[in-house]
Structure 1
């Protein structure tokens, strides 16, 4: 009896939830400082004589390093592991913040905070995302949403913490403390054990039943209905008529152990290509080269001791249905052998790959030929630019309409609180709906753009709080599906490369459009106009994806029409 080995699959839980906690710790320690950038660096940038443009340059460089590190992610994870990459990234984050404490120039801030810290954040973000996708399949949305809750929780606490640290230790002491907090990401990274250590056997649904699988070997026994020959004797599959010794040598041992005949699941082709051998040894070679995954015909080998052996299929043999292709019936076996090409197989010499092709294969750059993937990266990158610029500009916007640091920190905390609520409540719901994560994300960012444009026109305390609550919730609803849109489209093998190239795309757009948004604010002296320009970028993402959906729908409708006509 053949026992099929069980397939090992991700646990979709178990240690995976511990990995989720580890990712939350990493996100809390490395990314929660970003929305408080204006609050933390505001006084220092004022002393250096740079305002919004300088802040935009620092944040754009930071984002560029975060995202351009995606070029390294795929090869690094393939060569080492996502846990080791996350550990190195966490160490770089803490080191970059600590080295920023004595900064007295823009160049110093760019070198330490933007470059060193940015590279570390990029490595940890990519490694932790890949780790979660190895642990979860069906509950991937919940896992990613819960892990991002660490970021949102940090965004809620960090503005208050930064305010208190600035009051107690000034900028240089505050950045040192935050650097120590970032080093705690090392503890979270150690929890990202290889997912293969925790794989579990696949559990099949009862609806599948015990039906034989494709390519399954089926043995026929002596008393099987309708299969025994008319004379009532056991019929063997291979019959060498001219050499009884050979026949007994091959089959006696098997017949002693069981009354079952030789398994009836091997390919005819393994005999056809060797049918013109000139010795009895060809019988051995034919038998030894059986293909146990092909069609199931009864074959008889006829040979003479002094002439070349021939391959024939007996006239009265009954045909059995092919298990690999159940709907195919072989009606004319004589014609099959007659039409089969008898030329020897020829193999073309393998072409030597060029260095560029090796690089393309190693980094999976063939993804850049996929227009759907490119449009996906375009939309995500456009939204990312708007999101990063909003986090940078918001503290300056509140200051411009007369609110102090305490009120600004409260506003940011309230927005982060509703963000956390959305990330905890919505992922289980999103995993159960039939709508794709990409469509859910597009709906979410559409609402985000509208709410932020409304917020930009508010000046009263109560209305600002109301719209910050709404903005925080819809932002959390959108961001829980932000990275999943990549894993939803890509295979697990290409996921590190797909995510890395997606990060590179974000970096390019941040470098290109980040300073433009800063220039719009400085040239117009209007923060509301800057927020409206961010909404414009978000709507560009929605328009690009909507056009793709329409084109795909029209193609599908055209194909359905052709199939109906046929």
Structure 2
């Protein structure tokens, strides 16, 4: 169900918006993409455990996602270009200050709080910009944007390894802060979409009826005032008005955050399933270098090569799988579930044959392919289900749930590693959690009510 009077351009300046969003996301992400590679030596010297590393990374993600929910009502007052500027400024400041810190506590302040807040404001702003300019071509546009963002990680690990050998940890991060400042170029190109307001024409008899109703209301209010003045309904009025005021305030709060979305069981199933799988998959991707250091006994240059191979197949997945979905007509929800199964297979094989180099490379290709497809389809599941006017709130709810579950699941998997002194069991736990999303969606699909909300049907048909 599209917003009445809103025009999705599906091209034109929309392609400039796509390029701007790609530039912004590409500029601010390298530090976190290569976080384990950059800080591996620092953490080893300080003897920081896996649970602590996992907690730091997932605390950043939790703060980032929580801000996504709070930014939804802010996007109703300010446009996404203004918020993207504020967010980019925070991220640049956070990366710059990170180059001067070397303790675990200070990393929590710079990486988790400053950068996390910035990315939490940036993500819904950029996502809303894309959804404002595309509708019919949204799948392809999102694929191009996410593919563009994925190009840098192909070279980033190798470049970071080269920079670390020359400039060390502090110098490398300082250079990454300079790269992050290119996000301001993209922000300047984010022209807010023009949403024309439609004017609804009323028939003459409806106008007359409305005028009569207004007159009746005025007469009723006058009569009520006279009765109150005479003292007949003072007590009754006091008893009735207080619940009305409370109800009115609650209604305003509900409208501000679109809380009626939680009445939709299928929506709750979607965001919960993606939240669980997001936290599990994110934990695996962030911990891959540590897994390779410990289980495969790889050196830093070998880890950089594996990450580059993963990123190359990530790009292929971002391009090929959305085209397959577009041509075949497969729903993004189905494609998202398929990518979860693919990454689960890769992790299972890695846990069993981690001591074989070629198998590790093959697994990196498979989870890279799955990661690329998942990155596209997780951005399309909600837009294909939720009406545009509620999309900002839906994204905010999704990010809040992602952050909450990430803060629980991430440290739990790190704790499992510290108990077993191996990443093999955590890999199995991660796979189980990812497949839980598929099971939850299947359960919802087979056991949902036969009467489906017609608004949802219209929305899916429109998209």
TM-score scaled to structure 2, two decimals? 0.84
Q: 1:44 aligns with which of 42, 62, 77?
A: 42
Q: Distance in 1 between matches of 2:392 and 2:5?
A: 23
For residues 163 and 484 of structure 1, the distance between their equivalents in structure 2, rounded to whole angstroms, comes to: 34
- Tell me what 1:173 maps to: 171
8 Å CA contact 1:86–1:123 kept in 2: the answer is yes
- Counterpart in the other structure of 1:10: 8
Matched residue SS, 2:34: helix
Q: Distance in 2 between matches of 1:154 and 1:43?
A: 23
From 382, 385, 397, the counterpart of 1:486: 382
Match of 2:348 among 453, 465, 473: 453
**1:162: Cα distance to partner?**
1.4
1:522 paired with 2:408, answer no
The secondary structure found in structure 1 opposite 2:30 is coil
Aligned residue in 1 for 2:126: 128
Cα 1:112–1:434 change in 2 (3 A) is same
After the TM superposition, which residues 135-174 of structure 1 pair with which residues of structure 2 at under 5 Å, given as runs? 135-174=133-172
Asked whether the 8 Å contact 2:11–2:133 carries over to 1, the reply is yes
Aligned residue in 2 for 1:392: 286
Q: Secondary structure at the match of 1:494?
A: helix
- In structure 2, relative to structure 1, the CA distance for the partners of 1:186 and 1:84 (3 Å cut) is same
Structure 1 residues 251-330: aligned runs within 5 Å? 289=208
CA contact (8 A) 1:10 1:196 kept: no
Structure 2 match to 1:383: 277
Q: Which residue of 1 aligns with 2:300?
A: 405
The verdict on how the C-alpha distance between 1:134 and 1:447 changes in structure 2, with shifts beyond 3 A counting, is: same
More helix per residue: 1 or 2?
2
CA–CA distance in structure 2, aligned partners of residues 130 and 528 of structure 1: 39
> Structure 1, unaligned stretches of length 5 or more?
1-5, 200-214, 217-264, 271-287, 292-343, 558-566
**Relative to structure 1, is the Cα distance of residues 182 and 545 closer, same or farther in structure 2, using a 3 angstrom cutoff?**
same
Q: 24, 27, 30: which one pairs with 2:25?
A: 27
For 1:496-535, list aligned pairs within 5 A. 496-535=392-431
* 2:191 alignment counterpart: 193
TM-score, length-scaled by structure 1: 0.69
Larger radius of gyration: 1
C-alpha spacing 1:39/1:365, structure 2 compared with 1 (3 Å): same
Aligned length: 418
Per the alignment, residue 314 of structure 1 pairs with none
Q: Structure 2 stretches of 5 or more lacking a match?
A: 222-240, 453-463
Residue pair 1:65, 1:114 contacting (<8 A) in 2 also: yes
CA distance in 1, matches of 2:173, 2:315: 25
